[in-house]
Amino acid sequence: MNYWLIKSEPSVYSWDDLVKEKQTIWSGVRNYAARLHLRAMKKNDELFFYHSNEDVAIVGIAKVAKEAYSDPTSETDAWVAVDVKPVRKLKTSVSLSMVKTNKKLSGMALVRISRLSVQPVTAEEWNQVLTMAGEK
DNA sequence: GCCAACGTTGGC
DNA sequence: GCCAACGTTGGC
């Protein structure tokens, strides 16, 4: 099982929207690095759902409901989408500043490659964030 | 609203 | 193949 992090601006699509909708298509990714990660996702892999721009925090856990397929919002076959569904909201959301102050998370892609919208999370990082969220 | 970081495009 | 110019993302 692998772990990932996906970003969304809450004004465009928030965690609450995902919960309301029960499942959504993660489409519109037009970045090669992000596409690589989308393609590597397996069913039931877990994802941190991150709010960018406004909330600037990891707010919940989602999982892969359907592995990568051709993105219907693209006119070519070059891009892919996955389906994700909510698992649960974190007890306490973990803000970016909290992540930055945690030395164990200094290698996290969220800190190092801030513009990447779909990124891998190691098991260590995953557990560390869960601890900060009061889940452990 | 500003700006840094990064990706993409296009001229040479 | 290099690099300047430009556009976009995202934190503050």
User: Which residues of chain A register pLDDT less than 50?
Assistant: none
CB-contacted nucleotides of strand C (7 Å): 8-12
Compute the CA torsion angle A71, A39, A124, A10 (nearest 10 deg).
Answer: -10
Query: What's the CA–C1' distance between A35 and C4, in Å?
Result: 27
Residue A77's pLDDT is what? 81
Residue nearest to nucleotide C10 (CA to C1'): A53
- Taking the C1' atom of every nucleotide in all shown strands and the CA of A30, the nearest one is B7
Residue A78's pLDDT is what? 84
Q: Which domains does chain A have, with CATH numbers?
A: 3-132 (3.10.590.10)
- Nearest 5°: CA angle at A56, between A52 and A58? 95
Joined tokens for residue A25: 């298509």
d(CA A22, CA A87): 9
The rounded mean pLDDT for chain A is 94
Residue A136's pLDDT is what? 80
